[in-house]
Amino acid sequence: MTPTASAWTEMARDPRAREVLAQLGIDECCASHLTLDEAAAAAGLPPTELMRRLELAVPPPSPSRVTLDVRGLPPPLPLVRVLERVETLGVGESLEMVHDRRPMLLYPQLEALGLAHETSEPEPGVVRVLITRKTAA
């Protein structure tokens, strides 16, 4: 997998990646001015092997998950708060809503916005709805 030029530049700036590059004999000031192919050649490695080493040192960020507890709020505040928050979700990000009942009016709105949702009731009086943006808005 070959990253875009901007992804390579960002990765080369990360202190964890710079440590890997230094171990391969590529100094910090030069790394950001080299292309991936040039850095790999300087290290005597195929570009895919250099990227494998860098990706082990700098794992991609995991999708974020935010919890919003709306228990005890009077209607329509739980619905309003959740709809305000889901507008800011990026692809792969999730919002876990904690409520005291199933939000039946929320489900059709989430579906209309193209958001996936799963509901669980781990205990009486606690309803968890995990809302995830699968694709760009």
What are the tens digits of pLDDT across the range 2-56?
455 545 666 666 777 878 888 888 876 666 677 878 888 888 989 888 888 887 8
Task: Considering only residues 97 and 93, tell me which one the structure prediction assigns the higher pLDDT.
Answer: 97
Q: Are residues 126 and 70 in the same domain?
A: yes
Q: Are residues 72 and 53 in the same domain?
A: no
Q: Are residues 52 and 84 in the same domain?
A: no
Cα→Cα distances 110→10, 82, 103, Å: 34, 10, 11
Q: Are residues 44 and 70 in the same domain?
A: no
Structural domains of the chain, count: 2
Cis? peptide before 76, omega within 30° of 0: yes
CA angle 58, 60, 64 (to 5 degrees): 135
Q: Are residues 75 and 127 in the same domain?
A: yes
Is the model's pLDDT at 97 over the cut of 90? yes
Q: Are residues 69 and 53 in the same domain?
A: no
Query: Residue 14's domain spans which residues?
Result: 5-57
Q: Are residues 45 and 73 in the same domain?
A: no
Within 8 A by CB and 6+ apart from 108, the residues are none
Residue 18: per-residue pLDDT = 79
- Counting every residue written for the chain, the total comes to 137
User: % helix / strand / coil in the chain, to the nearest 5?
Assistant: 40, 20, 35
Residue 12: per-residue pLDDT = 67
Q: Are residues 50 and 93 in the same domain?
A: no
pTM value?
A: 0.56
Percent of the chain with pLDDT over 90: 40
Q: Are residues 46 and 20 in the same domain?
A: yes
Q: Are residues 89 and 121 in the same domain?
A: yes
